[in-house]
Chains A and B, each alone.
Chain A
């Protein structure tokens, strides 16, 4: 008996046949989308319903939530972000059964409830590139439901500034005999550029409303406080200047927004232009505008875009990656690789840290997941090219005879969070969450052995200079302020670490804390960001107060 080597191909042909009559060529009317999905899908299918960090295939999500569960059920959803109510409605209705994902943001609480009640099985919670990698190994989608800005008659797709995950999803699906359905905002005669070729796309639906995109990376400078200014001064002076960090990635919080806004003022004063922060893996943060305009920033590759930044980015093609049409070309998979292998530093805020330096944003009632931070916030063990910052960090870390570089991984946290919650703890809440959700491992965002520096309002702890686990713990206590963990410090041990530079206070760095005021920010409001951009930045309505 001869083996059939093309079962997936024949299955694909059968599904296309079942859907015949629902489409005019590749085009399907919006109201027939649920019928199309019922024709294309089989129970138990693995489906990628494009849910990116920002862009959502929201119309296809709503259509999938409306299919008959008697016909389509027990789907295995594989998608990076679970952001929409419809994503979870699938599981409430029995259309979906299993979920592999990266991040759940606004649906974190409901996701935990559904998983707790047994109606949703979590396969695993991944980081972004980890999930994309599995699309090409053991989680290849049978059907992908994606979102694009526009398509032409043939089915070529234009994704616009928010390309994000689309190329990775479509590539994995289309080249393994899967089916690709795209929702588009508009059908046009001629696309500004082709982001996905028509040959990889099976069906197109014009969505009744443009796909949802959230401005996740806009931080209003008006909400940046003085402690954040102080911590930003310590980072610029004690880490960026010290190591000569030229290539980096920033997290998305107010702490890192403060650093971006201090480059043109404090950074300039320290003579750092051209010496630090030249190349970035970063979304087009509005708070980066003053640093771009002041000549600090030479290049930025982006995971996604940011609402309101379209015209500004298009007007700065020497800095941003843009298509022949002039608009931003983002790509999360490539930008994650850039952040992992080509950046010398990652810096981000966290909510909770233990004495090993492990940090987590998980709390007992929420399953938020990881997103991309762990891919940035870890040493790239496969990296081989040298740079001054990387080599110096490796030397400070010391240990083996063979010299090796090391990525700088910096964690920012105020010692107390709102409502007097200590940020430093003996034991992370992640342990309890793991118990409650029967997870194999506590969900740790950044592992302690990857962290090189911890920055709080009290100072900078350089963990590279600590030689034993006890020293590391004492260095962390030494910047943990008046939290119970911080008050458990040995003053003598902390002073010894300070003498060695393993702990540096603002005064050790030559920083006068009284200068830490909002006056040091290059922009103190969204309106000032607009002014810096020469009117090109057009903030979403919610960020306009004028």
Chain B
């Protein structure tokens, strides 16, 4: 298990603080994604627990692009990859973020 932590720039705020969202679904191993308040102004904090060591640069590139394209400033994201590929993680992060920001949740 490798533990990675990144601080990313994100132009758009993730919105007012809300209860955390935890997403993890059958059929994707035990991939878990957690979205919660944190990270500070204009910044997003991301933690990755990955079962495949040696891919820090890949995860950093994946997450930096994600933070650049999505309103995640002021949020903290955690990924427990369960062996999932970057494609699955990116998709799941997008869905978790949408759920976090869903009005009236």
Contacts and interface: CB of A to CB of B under 8 A. Distances in A.
B94 interface: yes
Given A416-B86, A418-B83, A419-B83, A223 B95 contact: no
B61 A487 contact: yes
A414 B27 contact: no
Interface string B48-80: 000010010010011000000000000000000
A226 B86 contact: no
Contacts of A487: 61
B35 to A, nearest CB: 14
Interface in A451-470: 456-458
A482 B98 contact: no
A20 to B, nearest CB: 61
Contacts of B45: none
A227 B61 contact: no
A225 B27 contact: yes
Nearest to B85: A416
A401 interface: no
Given A419-B52, A420-B85, A481-B86, A223 B27 contact: yes
Interface in A432-454: none
Nearest to B88: A227
B85 A415 contact: yes
Q: Which of A222, A416, A516 has the most C-beta atoms of chain B within 10 angstroms of its own C-beta?
A: A416
Given A225-B28, A514-B98, A482 B91 contact: no
Contacts of A126: none
Interface string B4-33: 000000000000000000000111100000
Contacts of A456: 87
A227 B91 contact: yes
B92 interface: yes
A414 B87 contact: yes
B61 A482 contact: yes
A517 interface: yes
Contacts of B55: 420
A230 B27 CA distance: 15
Q: Which of A222, A227, A230, A518 has the most C-beta atoms of chain B within 10 angstroms of its own C-beta?
A: A227
Given A227-B85, A415-B85, A482-B86, A513 B91 contact: yes
A337 to B, nearest CB: 36
A481 B65 CA distance: 11
Given A225-B28, A226-B28, A482-B61, A414 B92 contact: no
A227 B85 CA distance: 10
6 contacts: A225-B28, A226-B88, A227-B85, A420-B58, A420-B85, A513-B94
Given A227-B91, A420-B55, 17 more contacts: A222-B26, A225-B28, A226-B28, A227-B85, A230-B91, A414-B85, A415-B85, A415-B86, A416-B85, A417-B85, A420-B52, A420-B85, A457-B87, A457-B91, A481-B87, A482-B62, A487-B61
A-B pairs with the 3 shortest C-beta distances? A457-B87, A416-B85, A420-B52
